[in-house]
Structure formats: structure tokens, C-alpha cells
């Protein structure tokens, strides 16, 4: 009886191993992308060209929407997505929290696509006048660094203001109620506040921040699937070129998704940067400056090395850029 039992046990173990292998293989054959309601990835998702190209490689695409960059990178950190796009600041906080991420590519600067806003009838006329005031923002988002740099440029310390951390929808409500003095926000919320509330721009990013968008992947996925990442970057780049040439078409497509009028959406579309470029030493240095600033302000617990988390594309891919 023992040989029979042993054979049955081996068969069961083999079946379990095959099943486990099938699960692992299935997971490896799915690219999980995190996106936000606005931006190039929304357009890529709608076009469906990525799915067609990756199907030829035996890869399915799964999309998950997030309300903001910090939440998206939390998803990347816990392994629920493989790839996503955020502003400059979220990956700094994520790396400081131990996320195993790599910067894959970036979009050209969009400094007008984020701003410090004040109510239309506010007596505040300059960033320097924010001293002692309440400023609301989404903690760890791209506008966090805009606020830091704008205060520095105005001769103020970060501790000279009272920060209130709220996600965009709650921040707008606080701004409308008058319970805060200023709101640091990005498009399309920025454009909506400017046109619907006649909010006044106290300072945007021009001259003090680049406001890059970064495409990021988990390190294990990028290292194991360079061809998938290559295809993904190519498709993002292609849809970016189309978007630059067709702002009205982009507006028509995105406006219903945002639930915003076309004129507000068009303003946001025109201020956005489009493309997918592999990181240059200059862009890495700029991102390092952000990380250093947040460490000095004790907003992150340890110093970071950005150059250590940059994806190196295969030589042929890099030459094709």
C-alpha cells in the first residue's frame, strides 16, 4: 500500500506544482497599470493600442484607477499594480517608505499645470503674505514641492505657514467655505477652480519647479519584462504626440470622464506636458534636489539616492528614443 500512497502523494504534489506554476505564469502575463482620471494614460487606455500590441506578446492589460499619485504609489508599493504615472513628489515619499520602484520615463515640464490659488476676493497678493495662513494641499503630491519652493522664493520657511492636508475634493470644499486661505492644486482641479470659482493664481510653477510627470514600475517587473516596458513607453510616446497635435480631440474624449465643461478641460489639456522620455542626468539631479529638500524639512525619514532607482533600458531601446 505504501508505494501506492507514495505515488498518489507525488501525483498530488506534481499537480499542486503545476497549478502554482500556472498561477505564477498567469500573473506574469498580466501588466497591471495604475492611472488617474486625468493624463496620458487615460488616453492610452481609451485608444486600446497597448492591448493590441501586448496581446502579440501574450500579455493582458489590467487598469486600476486611483484618486491621486500617493495612493497610486501605495498600490505599487503593496504589489497591486506594476506600473503607473505620478507627479514629482509621490515617488520620493514612496521610495522613502521602502517601495521597490524604478523611474522608467518622464514627461516634459508643465510648470503652469499646478498653482497656489487664493479666493477671488482675498486680500493676499503675494506668497510672502501667506505667513501664518492656512494652506491646504494633498500631502505628498506634486504640489507639495511647489509650495516648498514658492515659500523659499518668497523668503519664508515651510514652518511659517499652517499646512492642512486634504485630498482635492475635500480641499476644494474647504477653499470654498473660506476655512483655508490658499489652495495648492494641479489641473484639472486648478482650471476648474480658476473658471468656476474665479480663484486667483498667486503663483504657479514657472521659474521654480518643472512639474514633471514620471512613469514608474516595480523593480521586479521592469527587470523581468523589459520588452513589455519598451512597448509601453512607445505607446505612451505615440499617444502623447497625437495629443499635442489634437488638443480639441483630447478635450472631447477627456471632458466626459472628468465631468467638466469642455472649456475647462481644454485649458488643462493645453497646459499638460506630453511624451515619454528616458531620464537624463539633469532630470535625475532635479529629482534628487526634491528628495534632499524633503529630507532637510524632515518630511521624509532618510536621505535618498534617486540615481539608484532609475531603470536602464536595453541599449537598442535607448538609441531609439
CATH number at residue 88: 3.40.190.10
The H-or-E segment that residue 50 falls in is: helix 49-55
263 within a domain of the structure (yes/no): no
Going by pLDDT thresholds of 50, 70 and 90, the confidence category of residue 36 is confident
Q: Residue 176: give the domain boundaries.
A: 111-204
What's the structural domain count of the chain?
2
Whole-angstrom distance, CA of residue 72 vs CA of residue 117: 25
247 within a domain of the structure (yes/no): yes
How many CA atoms does the CB half-sphere of 108 hold within 13 Å?
11
Q: Is the pLDDT of residue 140 over 90?
A: no
Digit-coded pLDDT (tens) for 51-78: 999 999 999 999 999 888 888 999 999 9
Asked if residue 192 and residue 54 are part of one domain, the reply reads: no
Lowest mean pLDDT among 193-207, 256-270, 277-291: 256-270
Out of 186, 204, 222, pick the residue that ends a domain: 204
189 within a domain of the structure (yes/no): yes
Asked if residue 231 and residue 181 are part of one domain, the reply reads: no
CB distance 126 to 174 below 8 Å: no
Q: Exposed (0-12), middle (13-18) or buried (19+): which is 261, by Cβ within 10 Å?
A: middle
313 within a domain of the structure (yes/no): yes
Lowest mean pLDDT among 20-29, 156-165, 209-218: 20-29
H helix runs in the chain, sequence order: 2-28, 40-47, 49-55, 69-78, 89-96, 142-153, 168-177, 189-196, 219-224, 226-245, 247-258, 262-271, 281-296, 315-320
Amino acid at each position: 500500500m505504501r508505494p501506492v500512497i507514495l505515488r498518489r502523494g507525488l501525483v498530488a504534489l506534481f499537480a499542486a506544482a503545476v497549478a502554482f506554476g500556472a498561477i505564477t505564469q498567469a500573473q506574469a502575463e498580466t501588466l497591471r497599470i495604475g492611472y488617474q482620471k486625468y493624463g496620458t494614460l487615460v488616453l492610452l487606455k481609451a485608444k486600446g493600442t497597448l492591448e493590441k500590441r501586448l496581446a502579440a506578446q501574450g500579455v493582458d492589460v489590467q487598469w486600476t484607477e486611483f484618486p491621486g499619485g500617493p495612493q497610486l504609489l501605495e498600490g505599487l508599493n503593496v504589489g497591486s499594480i506594476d506600473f503607473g504615472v505620478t507627479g514629482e513628489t509621490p515617488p520620493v515619499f514612496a521610495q522613502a517608505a521602502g517601495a521597490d520602484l524604478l523611474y522608467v520615463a518622464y514627461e516634459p515640464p508643465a510648470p503652469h499645470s499646478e498653482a497656489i490659488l487664493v479666493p477671488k476676493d482675498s486680500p493676499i497678493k503675494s506668497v510672502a503674505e501667506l505667513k501664518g495662513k492656512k494652506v491646504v494641499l494633498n500631502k505628498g503630491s506634486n504640489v507639495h514641492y511647489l509650495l516648498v519652493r514658492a515659500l523659499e522664493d518668497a523668503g519664508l520657511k515651510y514652518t511659517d505657514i499652517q499646512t492642512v492636508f486634504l485630498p482635492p475634493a475635500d480641499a476644494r470644499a474647504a477653499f470654498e467655505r473660506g476655512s483655508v486661505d490658499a489652495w495648492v492644486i494641479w489641473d484639472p482641479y486648478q482650471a476648474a477652480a480658476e473658471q468656476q470659482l474665479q480663484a486667483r493664481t498667486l503663483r504657479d510653477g514657472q521659474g521654480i519647479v518643472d512639474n514633471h510627470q514620471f512613469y514608474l514600475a516595480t523593480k521586479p517587473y521592469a527587470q523581468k519584462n523589459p520588452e513589455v516596458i519598451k512597448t509601453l513607453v512607445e505607446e505612451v510616446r505615440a499617444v502623447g504626440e497625437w495629443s499635442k497635435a489634437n488638443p480639441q480631440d483630447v478635450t472631447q474624449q477627456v471632458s466626459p470622464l472628468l465631468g467638466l465643461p469642455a472649456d475647462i478641460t481644454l485649458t488643462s489639456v493645453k497646459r499638460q506636458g506630453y511624451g515619454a522620455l528616458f531620464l537624463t542626468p539633469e532630470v535625475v539631479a532635479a529629482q534628487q534636489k526634491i528628495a534632499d529638500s524633503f529630507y532637510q524639512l524632515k518630511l521624509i525619514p532618510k536621505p535618498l539616492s534617486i540615481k539608484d532607482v532609475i531603470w536602464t533600458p536595453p541599449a537598442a531601446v535607448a538609441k531609439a528614443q
